Each structure stands twice: as C-alpha cells, then as structure tokens.
Amino acid sequence: MYVASGITKHYQGVHALNGVDLTVRAGEVHALLGANGAGKSTLVKILVGAEQPTSGSLTLDGRPVRFADVGDAAEKGVAIVSQELNLFPDLSVLHNLFLTREPLRSGVLVDQAEMRRRARPVLEAVGLDVPVDRLVGQLRLSERQLVEIARALLGEPKLLLLDEPTSALRAAETARLLGVVRTLRDQGVGIVYVSHMLEDVFAVADNVTILRDGCVAVAGEPCTSMTIRGVVGHMLGAAKPLDGESAKRPERPEGEQPPHSAPLRLEGVAVADEVGPIDLTAHPGEVVGLAGLEGSGAHTVFEVIFGRRRADAGTITLPTGRPGPSSETQAVRSGVAFIPGDRRRLGLMLEKPIFENIAIVRGGPLRGMGFLLNGKAMLARAEHWRNRLGIRMSSPRTPVGHLSGGNQQKVVFAKWLETEPPLVLLDDPTRGVDIGAKAEMHAAVADMAASGRVVLVTSSDLKELSDICDRVVIFFQGRACGELRDQQLNEHSLLEAMNTGDLASC
Amino acid sequence: MSDHDLKPPAQTATSRVGSDSASASSTVRGRAIRSAARRLLSVNEFGISAVLVVLVLAIGLYDPVFLEPNVLLTTLRQAAFVAIVAYGMVFLLAMTEFDLSVGGTYAVCFIVCAVMMANDGVNPWLAALISIVLGAGLGALNGVLASLLRIPVIIVTLGTLSAYRGVVTVISDNASVRGLPVDHAFFTGLGDQWLGMPVAAWFVVVLGIVLTIVFTKTRFGAMVRAIGSNRDAAAFSGIPIGRIRLYALMVVGALAGLAGVLNLAYFQGADPTVGAGFELQVIAAAIIGGTAVTGGSGTVPGALIGALVVSVINGGLVFFRVPTTWTNVVTGAVILIAVGMDALIRRRRDAALRLTA
Ligand SMILES: Nc1ncnc2c1ncn2[C@@H]1O[C@H](COP(=O)(O)OP(=O)(O)OP(=O)(O)O)[C@@H](O)[C@H]1O
Ligand SMILES: [Mg+2]
C-alpha cells in the first residue's frame, strides 16, 4: 500500500497541489482524474521521486519513503510511464528498455542476448512489433509510447504509475494495454491510471480520485458509484456543464462567400509503394477525416500536402491555387497549417515563453508581424488564445515546458490557428486535452470550417473523428477505398472499415 | 513611531494616518531600491561583468601601470576586434552552429585589403568595402557548402579555416605587404581615436546596439533562436533553416572582414600570420559572455564583456611576468576560473531571486 498524505507542491508562484491525499492498494487500479492543469502529473511525479513535494509525506507499505530520483523509486518497486515520453532517440529500442540496468556478462560487457531474451515477452505483452535494434527516434509516436510502457513493465514494479499512457495509441493498442493493466492488477500490482479517456477509465478502474485546481474533489470512491457525467461535473467544477453532445458546426449564413473558396484537390497522388494513386477533393467549409491503420497511407498524404515528403506522381492544388509544396516553408507560405501529433518534437520550443511559441509561425516564415517584432502585440495575441482555448497559465511569459500536457497542446493549436490558414491539417489535435477543453477545440475546428477553410483530420480517437468530420475517407493498404458519412459514420463503422478496407457492410 | 504612542487617543487617528503614509512612502522607496537591485542582479551579464571588474582591479592593484590610459586603450582595442566577430558568433551559437573559419576569413580580408591598396592600387575606402563584402562572400561559401554537402557548419568551417589561411599565404607569398599608403585618411582616421576611444571601439558600440536589436527584436533573430531551441519544430513551423543559417554565416563573415579591415587600419602593416588563434578567442568571448552552446538563446552585450575578459587576461598576464612558455597554460586556467566564478554567481543569484520571488 502506497499512501501520500498532505502533498503540497508550489512552483514559483504556482500552487500545483494543495494538501492532496492518495492511497493506492495492491491489486487496485486507481484512476486519477482532473482537468488540464489540475495537478495529476505533478502528483504522479512526486509519487515516483521525479519531483520533491514542498510539503507532505509518502509511506510505502507502512514505512515512510523519500525517493532521490526515478531510478531510486524503480529499485524499490515504483515505476512510471510519464506523460511526456522520456526516451533516448539515438539509442535502439533495446538499449532504451534496459538503460542503466543492463544485464552484464562477466561484470563488464552488456549482455545483448540476455536483453533480447528478457525483452521479448514484455514487447509481446504490449503488442509492440518492431525490430529491437531500430533507433527509437525512427519510431512513430504510438510505438514510442509502447516502448516507454514496456520499459516500466520490465522492472516488474509493485506499483505502476501510468500518466496518459493511451493518448497516442490506437483503439486496438489501447484495448491491449487495458488487458495488460488488468493482468497486472490480478497479479497484485497497484496501479495509478491517469487519463482523459473516461470510457477507458471506467472499463478498467476500481476506484477514482479526482483533482480540481490542485485539491482533492473526490477521494478514492469506487468506480461503480460514479457516472461519466458525475465525474465530468467534479472535474470541471462550477465551470460550464457539458451537454454531452459534441459541438456541431454552426451553419454558415446563407449567401456569405467564404474568404478562401477553392477546394483542395489531389489527383493521382502516389508515393513510392506506400500510397496511391489517390484522388481526393475537399471543399471549403468541409471537415474531412482521413482514417486508416498505421501504414495505410493516411498520414503519408498529410506529409505530402505539407511538403515533408515528395509525391512521385500526381498533382496537388491547394485552396490558395498554389501547387503542392516542396518544403514546409513553402507549405506554410502557401497557406497550409499542420497541427502535429508529436507536440514535444514538432510542436513546441519548450524553454521559450508561451507568447513566442504562439507567434513564431505568423511572425517568422509568414512575415505577418513586420521586421521588428512587437512584444506587446505578441503578448496580446497570447492573451487572446488563453481566453479562447482556456489555456491555464500564470503568464504568457512562462516557458511552455512549465505548462501541463493538455495546456501545451492548446498552445500548439493556438500557434497554428494564429496563421489563419486556408487549409488546416490536424493530426490528433486534442491529444491529452481534457473533456471540457476538447469541446472548445472542436468548436474552434467547426468555426474554422464555417469561415470557409478546408480542414483535414486524422486521429487515433475514432470518436473524435466521427464527431467532428462531415465525412471520413478510409485508407487501406495505401489506397483510399471509400468514405463514410452521415448515419454511416460512427466509431464502429470506422473501426471495421479501417481494419477490412471493406465499406459494403457499413 | 514611538512618539505617537504617547499622544492622547484623540490625536491618534490623524497621526496614525500621517505615520502610515510616511512609512508607506519609505517602504515604497525601499521597494523601488530593492526592485532596482533585483533588476540589476537578474541581468544575465551580471556575473561575468563582476568577474571583469575583479580582474581589472586585481591586475591594477598588482601593477598600477595596467590602469594607465594607454594600456587600457590597447586592451580595449584588442577586445574590439574580437568583440565585433563574437557578436556574429552569438547568432550562430544560438542556432547550435559553430563557425571555426572566422580566423581565416579575418586574415584573408586583412591581407586582400592590404594588397589591393598597396603601391597606389585601389582607393583604400573602396578596398575596405570590397574586403567586407568578400568576408560576407566567404561566409556565404561556408553556408552553401554546408547545404550542398549536407554536413554541419562546424565540419565545413574546419576545412575552410585551413583553406582560407592557405589563401593568405598564397596571396602574400608569405611575406609582409609593403607600400601601404599610410598617410591616407583610411589609416589616420580609422586607426586612430575619436572622443577618447579607438575608432574600432566605436564600431563595437554601434554594432552592439544594432545587433542586440536584431537578435532580440526582429523576425530574423526570433527565427535564429527558434532553430536553436528546437530544430525539428522550427522546420515544422516553416522556418527556412538553410536560408537563415546562410544569412547568419554571411553576417559573421562580414563582421570578420570588418574586424580585419579595422585591424589593418590600426597596424598599418600586413603580416601574413595575422589572426592566428583568432577563432578560438571569438568563440571563447561569446561563450564566456553567456551564450549557451546548447542553443536557443544568447547575448550580444555578453559577447562584448566576454571579449573584454579574454583581452584583459591576455594583456594582464604580461604584468605578472608569466614566462612566455607558460602564457597559454595560464590563460586557459584564468579563463576556466572566470567562467567558473560566473557560473557560481549565477547559481547563487538564481537561488536568491527564487527565495524573494
Ligand atoms: N516546472 C513547472 N514550473 C511551473 N509550473 C509548473 C511546472 N510544472 C507544472 N506546473 C504547473 O502546475 C500545474 C499542474 O500541472 P500538471 O502537469 O500536474 O497538470 P495535469 O493535471 O497533469 O494536466 P494535464 O491533464 O494537462 O496533463 C499547472 O498549472 C502547471 O502549469
Ligand atoms: Mg499531465
């Protein structure tokens, strides 16, 4: 049993946690919920010694403990899968898994064979199917997420802390992970499970604790006594109650011409043996989803439209009338915005202030703010987005890296919306965002479409796809094999079509 | 305070108002002083400036001759040549690039300028201008090579440093250039002083202001810092990394050319061994000044202070009569001590600022 009592954590001026208690028992899945910035990650980091509390105490199996760092905690049986992955991109999967605890041969040489032998069952359990010698930097985000999980499992912890482990995972991978969690629980491992996917939480958790503004709102209630609606109420507090339905787009006023009236056209676009040829047209005002399993080509199409990959054949016409770009710079200047799924690597300058992050595309390559940048104007824009998207920050001058994960995602969103692009590509746009803010961001997407932009979306969250898209194009083995719309479009039809490439049954 | 306690209660109310406002105004003043002190402390260059002052005073106490105007002027002039180029190096370091070839560029521009104007050749002003443009061109060559060959600038410039130095030997035929028009206004003006400071130092002041603004307040500067803080995200944001790097290298090249020209104006002679080890002084100045090699940030004024530190150490050692065989060892040791002291001051200061936050 792991007990945290009276945990308080203050960062310069920010009260992240105020006297929080949490008890995790062996053989229990304890969900830890709360809105973005509520303090979940902070609490989890304190539990594993990655941060030291300002005050409060930790007791493990009746004895007070104080972990010097994460390695120390791991030795004592407490492991973490952190929200922002901590992997080494230039090392192989195998070396990442065993870093600092490599099995040795005759006390000096790293025992590769032993590492492989021990890694195999764990990788199988989490369903990661990549060569273990591949560099982690070459893996997709979802694969990296699984490496991080596998690394935690390898230490055979007594207590496992999972901070949004499924935010980058697809449905099948998530289901598999939930299976692993249940197995571990049955073996007597205590598990803390942080997530914004409330369906998953209810599927796996025994008890819930809900944080709000750094305080405990619900303390370790059994899951069976709660409803999703009730949980959301506790998370968001007095803030607006959700109407359950996701925001559907406001109708565009009759007769009003959108500012960018040309469609996006792909004609016969093909990339090596990965994709194509593909024809696709998306009109202004439309939100079009691209769905498919990894490697089906949906994501490659995004990269081609954004100039990160070259198409070997076919033509692209952007809504601005320009041809397909040959670099990101050209794409941005031709009016394309790409909200990336991997915010740490592609989205943010973590140590730079929030307002600089928001201004960098418009003020930089787009030259939208003149030669001399105006700090006041940039700060004002950051304030605008703080209000529009509800970014929880103490000031626009704080480094983005000090924000909670969901709030960082909102900054990425703001940075690209700031450019007022005619074409918007969204890749998992609401990863790690809480349920309230998600609705806000979906509304922002709907607004973009309503103002005459072309919006393309991929998402690992099929509910999100079916909620915000007018139609979803299904990709299967490199081809667009049809589309789902209206009543046909729902999570189940999507999942089936993505896995079979067969739309007839929908 | 104490006297109003003795007053009858009837007057207490009014006196309390008075004393409150008096104490309020004194706390306001106290707060103003404290916030001014905080602002001074929180200036990033505070630590290294303190180190500089200590160094100057220490050498001056040991041998007051060091503090005489002409000695200080020489030190200042040496620092000026280094500082001008270190300003540019700040831009490169901030985007996690190194230009090792600045010593070569500096020497090429120096020698080419001299050869052009020797024996009543080209007008010295024109020669100077051409040399600065040449410097920018050599910088551009570094950038183009790095882009074409897809190799890091540090590697490219490792090669061009040697190549540019070779060019100097070829052009000068490994001998001093003769026949310079030393009576020309180029030498009597640029090489001299103006309002009590070497003209080169005025260039340092003006360029320092201009480049500080470019670095902190312009689109170009913002993109440079963005590239250094997260290269992948910068590329993803549409920042043309190759182009920005090219511009930064051209700026550094032009500054190296300018430094070479100013040095020629002062020396009035052209020795082919000029600028040996110059690149390391430049990089040291930028880093000592507080520009992190990890990229993302930098300080142009810091580079000036760094250059002064380097130059004071180089000049000051003479006064300690360090045997010439030992100067490099001692210079290295003093630089390490200076940077170590700066780091110490920073840590102490950060801790102090956190406590009072
Ligand atoms: N290093 C830091 N410096 C300053 N403030 C911080 C730092 N880390 C976190 N915070 C602040 O502490 C608060 C709690 O953050 P935390 O990351 O725990 O939120 P969270 O509940 O995990 O949110 P999310 O769901 O978005 O991940 C936030 O207001 C955040 O800005
Ligand atoms: Mg978090």
Q: How far is the CA of A458 from the centre of ligand 1 (A)?
A: 27
Q: Quick check: B325 pLDDT over 90?
A: no
Reference B86, options B256, B324, B330; nearest CA is: B256
Alpha carbon nearest to ligand 1 atom 22, residue: A41
Q: Quick check: B6 pLDDT over 50?
A: no
Q: Which long-range contacts (CB under 8 A, 24 or more apart) does B122-130 make?
A: B124/B181, B124/B184, B124/B185, B124/B186, B124/B187, B125/B186, B128/B186, B128/B190, B128/B261, B128/B265
Chain A nearest CA to B230, separation (Å): 6
Nearest CA in chain A to B223: A364
- Say which amino acid occupies B240: P
Interface of B to A at Cβ within 8 Å reads: 213, 217-220, 222-223, 225-226, 229-230, 232-240, 296, 354, 357
Rounded Cα gap, residues A296 and A205, in angstroms: 33
Work out the pLDDT band at B356, boundaries 50, 70, 90: very low
Look at residue A471 in the predicted model and tell me its pLDDT.
93
Confirm or reject contact between A120 and chain B (CB < 8 A).
no
Look at residue B106 in the predicted model and tell me its pLDDT.
96
Look at residue A53 in the predicted model and tell me its pLDDT.
92
Look at residue B8 in the predicted model and tell me its pLDDT.
39
Confirm or reject contact between A365 and chain B (CB < 8 A).
yes
Nearest CA in chain B to A328: B238
Reference A178, options A307, A49, A31, A288; nearest CA is: A31
Reference A472, options A497, A505, A442; nearest CA is: A497
Tell me what the pLDDT averaged over chain A comes to.
Answer: 88
On the CB side of A472, how many CA atoms lie within 13 Å of its CA?
Answer: 35
Q: What is the dihedral of CA A140, A142, A147, A151, to 10 degrees?
A: 150
Chain B nearest CA to A339, separation (Å): 10
Give pLDDT tens digits for B178-202: 888 888 888 888 888 888 888 999 9
Q: Quick check: A484 pLDDT over 70?
A: yes
Q: Measured between beta carbons, which residues in chain A are less than 8 angstroms from residue B357?
A: 12-13
> Mean of the pLDDT values across residues A155-164?
92
Look at residue B5 in the predicted model and tell me its pLDDT.
39
Q: How far is the CA of A194 from the centre of ligand 2 (A)?
A: 8
Look at residue B338 in the predicted model and tell me its pLDDT.
77
CB A452 near ligand 1, within 6 Å: no
Look at residue B41 in the predicted model and tell me its pLDDT.
67
CB A438 near ligand 1, within 6 Å: no
Joined together, the tokens standing for residue A346 give: 């592609």
Q: Quick check: A257 pLDDT over 90?
A: no
Look at residue A260 in the predicted model and tell me its pLDDT.
55
Interchain proximity B238–A331, CB inside 8 Å = yes
Q: Quick check: B7 pLDDT over 60?
A: no
Interchain proximity B240–A365, CB inside 8 Å = yes
A229 or B139, which is more confident? B139
Joined together, the tokens standing for residue B262 give: 């100013």
Counting residues of chain B whose pLDDT is more than 70, the rounded percentage is 89
Q: Quick check: B128 pLDDT over 70?
A: yes
Look at residue A241 in the predicted model and tell me its pLDDT.
47
Q: Quick check: A77 pLDDT over 60?
A: yes
Interchain proximity B223–A12, CB inside 8 Å = no
Give pLDDT tens digits for A261-293: 789 999 999 988 788 788 999 999 999 999 988
Q: Quick check: A97 pLDDT over 50?
A: yes
> Mean of the pLDDT values across residues A249-262?
52
User: Which one of A329, A397, A408, A419 makes the best mutation probe of the B interface by having the most chain B beta carbons within 10 Å?
Assistant: A329
Count the Cβ atoms, other than its own, within 10 Å of residue A163: 23
Look at residue A226 in the predicted model and tell me its pLDDT.
86
- Say which amino acid occupies A486: D
Interchain proximity B219–A371, CB inside 8 Å = yes
Confirm or reject contact between A364 and chain B (CB < 8 A).
yes
Look at residue B4 in the predicted model and tell me its pLDDT.
43
Work out the pLDDT band at B116, boundaries 50, 70, 90: very high
Give pLDDT tens digits for B8-34: 344 333 344 444 444 556 667 777 777
On the CB side of A465, how many CA atoms lie within 13 Å of its CA?
Answer: 32
Interchain proximity B233–A359, CB inside 8 Å = no
Interchain proximity B229–A327, CB inside 8 Å = no
Query: What three-state secondary structure class fits B180?
Result: coil
> Mean of the pLDDT values across residues A479-488?
86
For residues A485 and A471, the answer to whether their CB atoms sit within 8 Å is yes
Residue to substitute in A8, A14, A52, A84 for testing ligand 1 pocket (most ligand atoms within 8 angstroms of CB): A14
Q: Measured between beta carbons, which residues in chain B are less than 8 angstroms from residue A329?
A: 238-240
Residues in a beta bridge with A34: A211
- Where are the strands (E) in B48-122, listed by range? none
> Mean of the pLDDT values across residues A7-35?
92
Q: Measured between beta carbons, which residues in chain B are less than 8 angstroms from residue A361?
A: 237-238
Interchain proximity B239–A365, CB inside 8 Å = yes
Q: Quick check: B357 pLDDT over 60?
A: no
Give pLDDT tens digits for B266-299: 888 878 788 888 998 999 899 888 887 778 888 9
Counting from 1 in the atom list of ligand 1, the atom nearest the Cα of A38 is 21
CB A406 near ligand 1, within 6 Å: yes
Work out the pLDDT band at A259, boundaries 50, 70, 90: low
User: What does the buried/exposed string (b/e) look like for A447-458 if buried means 16 or more CB atoms within 10 Å of the residue's CB?
Assistant: ebbbbbbbbbbb
Interchain proximity A328–B217, CB inside 8 Å = no
Among the residue ranges A161-175, A355-369, B18-32, B94-108, the one predicted with the least confidence is: B18-32
> Mean of the pLDDT values across residues A339-345?
89
User: What does the buried/exposed string (b/e) look like for B252-278 if buried means 16 or more CB atoms within 10 Å of the residue's CB?
Assistant: bbbbbbbbbbbbbbbeeebebebbeeb
Look at residue A126 in the predicted model and tell me its pLDDT.
87
Tell me what the pLDDT averaged over chain B comes to.
Answer: 85
Q: Quick check: A382 pLDDT over 80?
A: yes
Look at residue B234 in the predicted model and tell me its pLDDT.
95
Give pLDDT tens digits for A178-225: 999 999 999 999 999 999 988 899 999 999 999 999 999 998 889 888
Chain A nearest CA to B292, separation (Å): 13
Look at residue A84 in the predicted model and tell me its pLDDT.
79
Which secondary structure element, helix H or strand E, spans residue A181, and what is its range?
Answer: helix A171-186
Chain B nearest CA to A248, separation (Å): 29
CB A16 near ligand 1, within 6 Å: yes
> Mean of the pLDDT values across residues A231-259?
56
Task: Give CA separation, A299 vs A289, A317, A323, A458, A476, in Å.
Answer: 11, 18, 19, 7, 12
Secondary structure (DSSP) of A103-133: -EETTTEE-HHHHHHHHHHHHHHHT--S-TT
Work out the pLDDT band at B328, boundaries 50, 70, 90: confident
Rounded Cα gap, residues A481 and A413, in angstroms: 30
Nearest CA in chain A to B356: A12
Look at residue B267 in the predicted model and tell me its pLDDT.
85
> Mean of the pLDDT values across residues B320-327?
80
Q: Measured between beta carbons, which residues in chain B are less than 8 angstroms from residue A89?
A: none
Q: How far is the CA of B329 from the centre of ligand 2 (A)?
A: 50
Work out the pLDDT band at A243, boundaries 50, 70, 90: very low
A103 or B352, which is more confident? A103
B337 or B346, which is more confident? B337
Look at residue B16 in the predicted model and tell me its pLDDT.
41
Interface of A with B in 314-343 (CB under 8 A): 327-329, 331-333, 338, 340
Q: Quick check: B64 pLDDT over 60?
A: yes
**φ and ψ at A111, to 5 degrees?**
-90, 90
> Mean of the pLDDT values across residues A111-116?
89
Rounded Cα gap, residues B239 and A364, in angstroms: 7
Cα angle: A398, vertex A400, A405; to 5 degrees: 130
Look at residue A403 in the predicted model and tell me its pLDDT.
92
Q: Measured between beta carbons, which residues in chain B are less than 8 angstroms from residue A13?
A: 357
B31 or A457, which is more confident? A457
Interchain proximity A346–B225, CB inside 8 Å = no
Q: How far is the CA of A433 from the centre of ligand 2 (A)?
A: 9
Q: Quick check: A125 pLDDT over 90?
A: no
CB A36 near ligand 1, within 6 Å: yes
Q: Quick check: B125 pLDDT over 60?
A: yes
Q: Order of strands, edge to edge, in the sheet holding A313-317?
A: A275-282, A264-271, A313-317
Rounded Cα gap, residues B330 and A78, in angstroms: 50
Nearest Cβ partner for B218 among A331, A333, A371? A371
